[in-house]
Amino acid sequence: MRSFVTADGKASYRMPNLLYSFSNWFYPGFICIGASLLLWVQKRDLRPAGYALLLPLLLYSVLLAGIPYQNMRY
């Protein structure tokens, strides 16, 4: 269990923030949509430009791991 003490008080969470911040990537609704979109993705589509689109998502997840809150709105 992880706990943080902030000006708002003490908060305790079951998961570490790093795991929680990546849980949006495994949300059932997103997985269903993503799996259906993978049918149209070809290997040539995964160029450096495609990876550059994933970089902001990765950085956003790491940013959320650094804040002391676990909120589904983020």
pLDDT of res. 50: 73
pLDDT beyond 80 at 20: yes
Tell me which DSSP letter residue 67 carries.
S
pLDDT beyond 70 at 56: yes
* Position with higher pLDDT, 73 vs 4: 4
Nearest C-alpha neighbor of 12 from the set 26, 2, 21:
2
Which residue reads 């790491």 in tokens? 62
Q: Where are the domains of the chain?
A: 2-66
